[in-house]
Structure formats: structure tokens, C-alpha cells
Amino acid sequence: MATSVVPFGRPRGERADAARNRELLLATAREMIAEHGAAKVTMDGLAERAGLGKGTVFRRFGSRAGIFRALLDADERRFQERVLSGPPPLGPGADPVDRLVAYGRARIGFLLDHQDIARASLDRDRPAAVAADTTHLHVRVLLDRAGVRIPAIEGVVIQLTAALEAPLLLALSASEDVPPLEPDVARMLGDGWQYLIERLVR
């Protein structure tokens, strides 16, 4: 019953309008974050700048945290597309160990770039919005292709997944007034990741 999301009597164009409003609101939120940081984005400010009513923002996202979850979801999808069909070594075609190293470095960078948004996407009912499922699956497949077949593999994969989510964990544990991690933390964590992987597959 896919049509049940459009209540009876609404104009045919409603869903296209809704999608356009959603894209406009996300683009506007990105501008506001780039200019003043995530903490300054409010539902009122977003509605005003996008030239829409506050009711529209509320219907699209439900809450302030919902805006940030939608931004995170959209960027997450783009990231996964680069992994599934982008150029190697992040995308397919490279040696599995090189792909694991590239994935870790890219993922750490992604999470560090999204610390603010991830922090702002928290609310009482959904404490951590980023799903680690795709990382878990990707790491397991690539370790298998790299010939790492050990009894402890499942624990190792969960721990490597958690290792990649470390920047996020740090960001989520901090209170809002703790400054985000420095960008060169990405290199430090990337080097750590590469060292772990090289030790594992040796």
C-alpha cells in the first residue's frame, strides 16, 4: 500500500512538492552549518532562511535532531556509493588489503567531518544514529578475501568496526561545549588503522 502515504484528497503534486521542500531544507541546513556550525541551526532559523513555514520543517523532519539525521543519511549514502562503485582502492578492483586500508582512512575522515552533525542528530530516543552495519560487512568480506580465516574472526571484525567508529564515539561522549577533534587526528587514526590491518594480515 505505497499510496497510503498520500492522504485522500491531496493534490497530485503534493509528493513532488514535499520532496522539493525536503531538498531545499537540507541544502539550506548545509549552508547554515558551513557558515556558523551545527549548534546555530534551529528549526525557526532554517524555516526563515528557506522561505518556508515552520510547520513544513516540522512535517519533513519531526525535530531538530531529525534534520541532522537526514543530512547524515544523505551523506552516508554518498559515501557507500563511493565504496560500492567508485574508483579503487576505495572502490572495487584493488587488492583487498589495500581496500581495507583505504576504507579505514576514508571512513575515519568521513566520521571526523561529520562529528558536529552526528552529535546534533542525537536525541533521547535515538542515541546513536550512524549504523555500523555496512562497515562490519565490508571489513568481514575484505578480511576473508585477504585470507584471514581464524576462529576469532567474528570478534575481530566487531572490534575493527568499533575501532573505525572511534572518532564518532569520542564525539558522542563529549558534551556539546567540547571542541571537535582536530583534523590531523584523521591522519593519526588512519596510521593506527593501517598498522592494525598490516599486523592482522601478515
Residues that bind a copy of itself (CB under 8 A): 122-128, 130-132, 150-166, 169-170, 172-173, 175, 188-196, 199-200, 202
Distances (CA, A) of 172 to 37, 122, 123, 201: 16, 8, 11, 31
* Residue 108 C-beta: closest distance to a copy of itself, Å: 9
**Shortest separation between residue 47's beta carbon and a copy of itself, angstroms:** 22
> Measured between alpha carbons, how far is residue 42 from residues 49, 54, 62, 143, 176 in Å?
11, 10, 13, 43, 15
- Look-up of cell digits 560500492: 84
Closer residue to a copy of itself, CB minimum distance, 85 or 173: 173
Evaluate whether 105 touches 188 at the Cβ level (below 8 Å): no
- Compute the CA torsion angle 18, 22, 25, 27 (nearest 10 deg): -130
Q: How far is the CB of 62 from a copy of itself (least distance, A)?
A: 15
> From the CB of 165, what's the least distance to a copy of itself, in Å?
6
Closer by beta carbon to a copy of itself, 16 or else 188? 188
Nearer to a copy of itself, 2 or 152 (CB): 152
Cβ proximity to a copy of itself: between 19 and 150 the closer is 150
Hunting for cell 593501517 — which residue is that? 194
